[in-house]
Structure formats: structure tokens, C-alpha cells
Structure 1
Amino acid sequence: MSVRLLQLSDCHLPAQAGQRVHGRDADAGLAALVARLLELPPFDHILLSGDLAHHSGSDAYLRLLQLIEPLAGERHWLPGNHDDIDLMRAVDKGGKLGCKEVMLDSRWTLLQLDTTARPDGRGSGALAGAELNWLQERLSALQDRYLLLALHHNPVATGSRWQDEIRLGNPEALQRLLEQAPQVQGLVCGHVHQALTLQFVHRPLWSAPSTLVQFARGCETFTLETDPELSTPGCRWYELEADGSIQAHEVWLSTGFEEKWPHV
């Protein structure tokens, strides 16, 4: 049996429902995507991979949990550069959502990394020394399990200059650890608002699209995607197989979702 893991990322929920971010109603778009996901078989786990709120208060995190309530699966989240970690912890009673090490099944473990250290005010982040030490310790302790690493910031370039300037600030430190950790089967990230399949230390690295808006690829400056096939809210989900392989899938709202959901 495989583990079915859903990744929702870059929701950017504002302080109040109905407020628009990049011209869209973030809450309504996420609700529409959840309705689409309910047409699929249920998931075992749901990963919320950062930028869940858009410089807003605790109500945004509470609304996020309410919006995804119809979905099956154990919830997990990690912060992005737009998030307030203290507010996330206040909402996460008991710290279950933010648990950094999650046993997904008898074979697979998810390790969640916080990449919000050393912010530059433009969107970049890094892995703090304590975070790297924790990861090194867990990689040493979990040599007999398949591992999936989750982080918000992408550790490799995407080909868009403005985005590559705000990616993970110290990927070399992560690279050194993974070179000695063959049990790491893949990585997932958010941040780029695109569904990309990349490579990092000879492992697959998947980025999830945003549940709000997508960024155009290969751009010098900030540019929103306008192609109808690529600009709708989306997400990824993964099948983590018993043999250590990973199958990645994409889910998008139809190009007519704004007509079906006129308040978006």
C-alpha cells in the first residue's frame, strides 16, 4: 500500500475572508480547490508547505484549517516567509501540526524543515544552524527508513532571475548533509508558485503550485502567469510507494473556475 500525501502551498490567506490578493479571493479559490479534491480518493496526510497567510493575523490560520476540514488526512504544516511562526504555534494547540518529524507509515518518514532564518525582507530564507544540526541528527538516526524532506524555499534555481534571488540562501549546507543520506528519496517545496520537477543532490525535487495564483516562468521580474492552462489554483499530491519510489501528480481547477465561482 502506498501513502497518499497531499501538498497545499502558498495559500496567502488575508486578514479577512473576501479580501483580494493579487486580484483573487484567496479563501474562495482554496474552497473551490478543496471541492475538486473531494472528487479524488481520500488522502492519508496533508502537508501545508508555507506562505499560508499573507502578512495577516491568526484568523487566517484558523480559516485555513476550516477550509480544508472536509478533506481526510492528518494535517502538517511548516512556515514560509509570509508566515508568522508565533501565530502558527498559537493556533496549533499541542504542536501537532508543526511536528517536524512525522511517521507516515511503517516505511516512510516526513521531515519538515523551517527555512525562514535570515530573512532579507524580499522573500528569501535559510536553514538556521540549529535546524541543520537537527536534520543531521535525524538523518543519522533514520537510516533504515525512506525519507521525504519538505521545505518552503526552493534550494535550486528555477530560471526566473527574481525568484532565484530569493530562493534558499544556504543550499550548500543542505547538499552536504544529503550527500551522506541515501535514504532521502525526494524533496518537496513551495514558494515558487509553479509546478516544477527539478533535481537536488540527484534526488527529485517537486515544487507545488499555489492555491491562489501562479508566477510566470523564465522572467526577469515579478510576473503573474496569464496562460489559462497554467494560471488557475492548483496543488500536488504524491504516492509514496513501499519500494521507496515516489509518484507525483498535479491537480488544477478548470480554466472556467472563475465563472463557476464568480466571487473568486
Structure 2
Amino acid sequence: MIIQLTDTHLLADPRQLFKGINPYDHLARVIEQIRGLAPQLVLVTGDLVHDDSAQGYRNLLGLLQTLPCPVRCLPGNHDAVPLMQSILATDQVNCQSLIEYGDWLCVLLDSSQPGQVGGRLGAERLHDLERVLNNHPGRDVIVAMHHPLLPCGSRWLDQQRVADAAAVWPLLLNAPCRVRAVVSGHIHQEFATEHLGIAVYGTPATAVQFRVHSADYALDDGLPAYRWLRPGPGGRLTSGIVRLNQF
């Protein structure tokens, strides 16, 4: 089983509140639950630390190191990327962009732009993605990134999705490997659809949630959540959301 965590929004002080909740406490409880599931891999898909603090990343590392499996992290628009990469740099927990899961391959993309809220890959990262996909013919692949490729139905969030998504889809569809799913964060809500034969998932945050189908920024009272993914033989993939219920 693969677990996806996203939008943890930790702070330097683990007691400090973020939009009325304690993000450290939320993440700690989520991790306590998923430890019992014995996952084989955890993907953490951006907006890891909200205040650009080294201590926030150290707090995150301490929690992630309690997991019984490899953890791979990628940045979101709130992350200080060089700082993140320098601290999340252990054998177990790091920011490497490729990891195998049995016969499957997980490809982690950085969709963040310095000083920008919205996502974009840009020419260099698009070229890197094409190269990686071409180098793994026949493999079943999960692609993870922070920003979504598709609109989720919330106007203000849809303006922040990957700006060059139209250049991404041909790479995913025409590669010699088989891209089975794209998973992302950023939208702080559940989203699941299929686009051109590829499963597309958005995942609620471990921190606060955004109101679904809202034209403007709005929070709701949804509970912390995570996504599970079960890759199987023949490219079969199942997935779902689990929300905590003791807050």
C-alpha cells in the first residue's frame, strides 16, 4: 500500500495554531493511524511547512521518521525548496524524484514556482519528465505533484492549477511506459476522476480543508485526511480517502 499525505503546513513551533487548528497535532495523529496500516511507501505532496522555517522541516522529519517505510517528499508553493531538500535528506525520508514500488514506478514532480501560488512545470522540468518516462518502457507509473492538472470545480483554486498542463498530458499519454494515475494536493479537498484513461486524484489536507465548489477562498470543517493507493498486477490501481474521526 502507498499512502499520500499532503498540505501539512507545519510551523516552527509545534504548539502554534494555523487557521484555528494545530497542524503538528493533526499530522501526528494521521501518522499514528497509518503506522498501523504498515504501508510500503509514503508520498508527501507539498506545502509541507508554512513559515519557511528550518525547525518546521525538522519537526516534519521527526514525525516522518516514525513511519515503517520509505518516504518521498515534493514541494508545494509554500515550501522553501533548498531548505526542504537539505533537511529532508536521509536514506528513509528524502526528496528523490523516483522510487520503485514493486513493478511500479512513482515519479515525483516539482510544480512550484518561486514567489507564485499557481503551478507550472516549465520547459526544463517537462523535458526531465519526458526523459524519465522514456527511460522506463513498459512500467506502470504513478505521477505525483503538488498542483493539480485538472480543474476541481472551485474557481479560485482552478486558477492555480498547473498552467502548462496542456503540455504535460501528451507526455503522459504517449510515453512508452503506462501512466496509470496522477495524484496531487493543493486543493485541500477530495477529487477523483479519469482523464484520457488516466486516473486523476486530489487529496484533502492533513491540516485544514477548503470548501468544495467554492468560487472564492473558503474553509470548511472537514477532518484531516489521507489517501491510500493499492497498485496491483496488470496496471490495476484502487484508491480511497480516509478521514480521521477523533478531533
Question: Is the shorter-chain TM-score for this pair beyond 0.5, marking a shared fold?
Answer: yes
Cα contact 1:6–1:238 (8 A) shared by 2: yes
Q: TM-score, normalised by structure 1?
A: 0.88
Partner residue of 2:236? Answer: 245
1:173 is aligned to 2:156: no
Superposition deviation, residue 118 in structure 1:
6.2
The aligned amino acid for 2:123 is G
1:16 is aligned to 2:16: no
Partner residue of 1:66? Answer: 62
Aligned match for 2:219, one of 213, 224, 234 = 224
Partners of 1:147 and 1:170 in 2: CA distance = 21
Unaligned ranges ≥5, structure 1: 259-264
Aligned match for 1:47, one of 43, 59, 73 = 43
Partner residue of 1:234? Answer: 225
Q: TM-score, normalised by structure 2?
A: 0.94
SS of structure 2 residue aligned to 1:131:
helix
Partner residue of 1:164? Answer: 158
1:149 is aligned to 2:163: no
Partners of 2:211 and 2:89 in 1: CA distance = 37
Cα contact 2:42–2:69 (8 A) shared by 1: yes
| Aligned-residue RMSD, C-alpha | 1.6
Aligned match for 1:198, one of 193, 200, 212 = 193
Partner residue of 1:77? Answer: 73
Q: C-alpha offsets along residues 103-159 of structure 1, whole Å, 9 cap, x if unaligned?
A: 222x11111111013653xx2020021111011111111112111100100011011
Superposition deviation, residue 71 in structure 1:
2.1
Which contiguous aligned blocks of 4+ residues in structure 1 show a shift greater than 6 angstroms? Answer: none
1:134 is aligned to 2:131: no
The count of aligned residue pairs is 245
1:31 is aligned to 2:28: yes
Partner residue of 2:99? Answer: 102
1:189 is aligned to 2:184: yes
SS of structure 1 residue aligned to 2:141:
strand
Tell me whether 185-194 or 63-72 shows the greater mean CA deviation.
63-72
Superposition deviation, residue 15 in structure 1:
2.2
Cα contact 2:49–2:56 (8 A) shared by 1: yes
Cα contact 2:77–2:114 (8 A) shared by 1: no
The aligned amino acid for 1:84 is A
Percentage of identical aligned residues: 28
